[in-house]
Amino acid sequence: IQCSTNKECIREIGANDAAFQTYNSFFIHIDNICIYVQMSIKEKRMSESIHNLYKGVLHSTDYLMDIQQKQEVFQDEILNQQIEINEANDQILKFHAKHEKNIDNLELIAKNIKN
C-alpha cells in the first residue's frame, strides 16, 4: 500500500482485509515486544543491583572480620598488661611481707630518735 497521508493510509488499510489483519497483528506484537524489552532492561538492572548488594555484603563482612581480629589483639594486649600488673602487685606484696619486720624496726628507731 502506497499512501502520502495518515488519513489515506488508514482508509487503504480499512479497505483491505489482509492489510488490516497485518496492521492489527503488528500492533499487538509491537506491544509485546516493547514489554519484553522493558522487562529485559529491568531484569538487567535488578541483576546489577543484586550483584552490587552482594559485593557490599562481602565488603562489610571483610570489614567486620578485620575489626573482630583487631579487637581480639587488643583484648590479648589488655590481658597481658593485666597479668604484668598482677605480677608487679604480687612482687610488692612479697617485698612488703619479706621486709615488714625491717620496716617495723625502722619505724621503732625513728620513734626513739624523735623522743
3-state helix, strand, coil in the chain (%, to 5): 95, 0, 5
> Which DSSP string corresponds to 54-102?
HHHHHHHHHHHHHHHHHHHHHHHHHHHHHHHHHHHHHHHHHHHHHHHHH
pLDDT of 51 = 97
| Residue 4 phi, psi dihedral angles, 5° rounding | -110, -20
Give the chain's end-to-end CA distance (angstroms, integer).
137
Give the predicted TM-score (pTM) of the model.
0.50
pLDDT of 35 = 92
- Degrees to nearest 5, angle at CA 31 with 43 and 26: 135
Which residues of the chain register pLDDT less than 50?
none
pLDDT of 1 = 57
In the numeric block, which cell numbers belong to residue 100?
A: 615488714
